[in-house]
Amino acid sequence: MSTLHPVRRALVSVSDKAGIEDFARGLVACGVQLLSTGGTYAALKKAGVPVTEVSEHTGFPEMMDGRVKTLHPKIHGGILALRDDAGHVGSMKEHAIAGIDLVCVNLYPFESTIAKAGCTREHAIENIDIGGPSMVRSAAKNHRFVAIVTDPADYAVVLDEMAQHNGCVTEATKRRLAGKAFALTARYDALIAEWMQKDLATAGLAESKWPTSYALAGRKVSELRYGENPHQTAALYVLGGRNEPSIASAEVLGGKQLSYNNLVDLDAALALAKEFDEPFVAVLKHNNPCGAAAGGTILEALSGAWDGDPVSAFGSVLAFTRVLDMACAEYLVSGNRFVEAIVAPGYDEEALKLLTEKPKWGKNVRLLVCPFPQAARDARDVEVKKLVGGFLLQDRDLMAAGEGECKVVSKRAPGSEELAALLFANKVCKHVKSNAIVLAKGTRVLGVGAGQMSRVDSVHMAIRKAGDAVKGAVVASDAFFPFADGPELALKAGCTAILQPGGSLRDAETIAAVDAHQAAMVFTGLRHFRH
C-alpha cells in the first residue's frame, strides 16, 4: 500500500557532517522540527539552525560518556510506530511519544579508526556505534512511514521530493533508502566481526582462525563497463579495514575506464611486484606473468621484463617497484609497444606528461599510483574464492623459499649465481597459474609455462618461449615433478639447475636424471599451486 506521510519531525545525528547544515536548513524550511545529539546538535546550534536536543525531547539526560542517549522509548517508539495501527497510535498517545518521520544518521568511523596505525583495542571498541545502527535499523524496518537517510549523497534527493510532494518522501525513495541503510549496517557489523575475530586470534583466544560465520564488508567504488565478457555486468567493491596498498584503493591518474579484466590483471601484477624490494618490473597477460625482471635501474628491469616475451607483452599490464621515470616512458612509447595499464609507486612529471599526451597512449592507457613497500603485505588478510552457493577462505600464500630453505638433493650443488636465479624464478613461479614452470637467467624471466594440464607441457611451453636463451637457464616449478620427463626435457634443452618442492614417489628418478646431466637440483618443501 502506498503511504505518503509528511515529514514533521526528524532526528539528525551524524559522524560525517559533510553537508548536514544545508540539509538541516532545508528540512526546517519544509516545516520540520529537528532533534539532535552531541556534536551534531552543537554544530547545528552554532550554525543557527533551530534544533532540540534529544535529552530535552526524552526528558532523560545523555550519560556514560554519550554511550546512552538515543536508546529510549520516546526515540524508538517514535520511529517504529505504525501510523495506521490503532494500537500503536494509542500507545503513542498514552506515553506521550511523538512520531519521528525522518532519521538522518551515519555511524561512528569504525572503519577509518581501525585502519590507522597504532589503533588500540580500547579505541577501536569505543568507535563501535550502538545507538546509530539501532536507529538506522528501526527506521529502515518502518520505511513505510519513516525515511532513513544514511548517505549525504541523498540529502538533495530527499529535499527535492519533499518540495514536490508537500513535505513527503515517496514510497519508492523510502524503500530504496531502507535497502541502502540495511546494506550499511550489514557492512558495518561485518567489519566489526572481522576485526573481533582477528583480535581474538592475536590474543590466542579464538577457538579457530575461521569463524562460524563470515561476511565480506564491501563498499561499491564504481560500476564497470562490463564484466569478464561484454554480456556480463560487474562492479568494483573495496573492503574496509585494510591498510595494505592495493589496486582497489590505488589512485587512477588517467586513461580509459578500468575494466574487470584490467583490475584482475593489475591485482596479480601488483602481488608479484610486492615480492621484490629492488628495481623490478612485472609484465602480465591474462593473469599470468609473461615477463619479469629485476635490474640495477628501473629501466633495466623494464627492458629485461619486456624482452622475456615481447609478443605477449603487447597489450599487457605492468607493475613497477620504483617511480616510472622519463627513460621508462620513452622506452614504452617507442617502437610498436603498447600496454593496457600500469601500476607504479609514482611517475616523474615528464614521464606522466609523455604517457598522457602521446597519441594512442594518452586516451587509452590506464595509469595507477600505488606506493607499496614489501612490508605492507598483510598476512592477516585472507583470500576468498567464490563457488556457486558458497565460498572458500584461505591464508594468503606469502611465503617464498630463501637460501636457507633450499635442500640440495643432487650430487652437484648449484653455484651462487644459479641459486640466486633459482630463488628469483621461484618468486615469479608462485604467481603463475598451475601447472607452473619458469625459466630464468640471473634476475630475468626467459620463458613461462602456465595453466597446462600436464607439467611436461608447461616445460615445453617455457622452453619454446625462451628460445635460444634457454642454454644455461634455471628452472623453477610450483609443485613436484611426478615423473622425470619434465626435468629431462629442460636439461636436454640446456638448463643447468632446477628448483622444486619435492615429494613425488619418483623423486629418486628425477634426481638421477639431474645427476646424469651434471646439473643441480634443490628441494624447498613449499608448493605454490595457483588455480
At 23-74, the pLDDT tens digits run 999 999 999 999 998 889 999 999 999 999 988 787 676 766 666 666 788 8
Q: Bridge partners of 391?
A: 386
What are the cell numbers at 511? 634426481
Residue type, 308: G
What cell numbers appear for 234 in the block?
560487474
Determine contact, residues 136/108, Cβ cutoff 8 Å.
no
Q: Residues 361-390: pLDDT tens digits?
A: 988 999 999 988 766 788 878 899 999 999
For 437-481, what is each residue's pLDDT tens digit? 999 999 999 999 999 999 999 999 999 999 999 999 999 999 999
Question: Could you state, in order of their start, the residue ranges of all structural domains in the chain?
Answer: 9-195, 248-373, 404-523
User: Which residue intervals of 81-221 are DSSP H helices?
Assistant: 86-94, 110-115, 121-126, 131-141, 155-164, 171-202
Question: What's the chain's average pLDDT?
Answer: 93
Angstrom distances, CA of residue 159 to CA of 22, 78, 152, 323? 10, 21, 12, 47
Strands 316-320 and 280-285, bridge-based pairing: antiparallel
C-alpha dist (Å) from residue 448 to 429, 465, 478: 8, 7, 12
Encode pLDDT of 479-512 as tens digits.
999 999 999 999 999 999 999 999 999 999 999 9
Are 9-195 and 404-523 in the same CATH fold? no
DSSP state letter for 394: E
Q: Which of 17, 88, 141, 517 is catalytic?
A: 141
pLDDT tens, residue by residue, 264-304:
999 999 999 999 999 999 999 999 999 999 999 999 999 99
Q: Is 286 a catalytic residue?
A: yes
In the set 286, 353, 358, 411, the catalytic residue is 286
d(CA 171, CA 160): 14
Please say if 141 is a catalytic residue: yes
Asked if the peptide bond before residue 127 counts as cis, ω within 30 degrees of 0, the response is no
For the chain, the C-alpha Rg in angstroms (whole number) is 30
Other C-beta atoms lying within 10 Å of the C-beta of residue 242: 17
> Would you state the pLDDT for residue 68?
64
Q: Among residues of the chain, what percentage have pLDDT more than 90?
A: 77
Fold for 9-195, please state it. Rossmann fold (3.40.50)
Q: How far apart are CA 127 and CA 110, in angstroms?
A: 5
Kindly state the cell numbers that stand for 53: 536536543
First-residue to last-residue Cα distance in the chain:
51
Q: How many Å apart are CA 181 and CA 486, to the nearest integer?
A: 57
Strand partners, 11: 35, 103
Alpha-helical (H) ranges within 220-341 are 260-273, 298-307, 310-313, 326-333
CA angle 263, 268, 272 (to 5 degrees): 145
Which homologous superfamily does the CATH classification assign to the domain defined by 404-523? AICAR transformylase, duplication domain (3.40.140.20)
Query: Largest alpha-carbon pair distance within the chain?
Result: 96
Residue 386 pairs in a beta bridge with 391
CATH superfamily, region 248-373? AICAR transformylase, duplication domain (3.40.140.20)
- Which residues touch 236 (CB under 8 Å, ≥6 apart)? 220, 221, 222, 223, 224, 248, 258, 263
Position 455, amino acid: R
Distance CA 109, CA 123 (A): 11
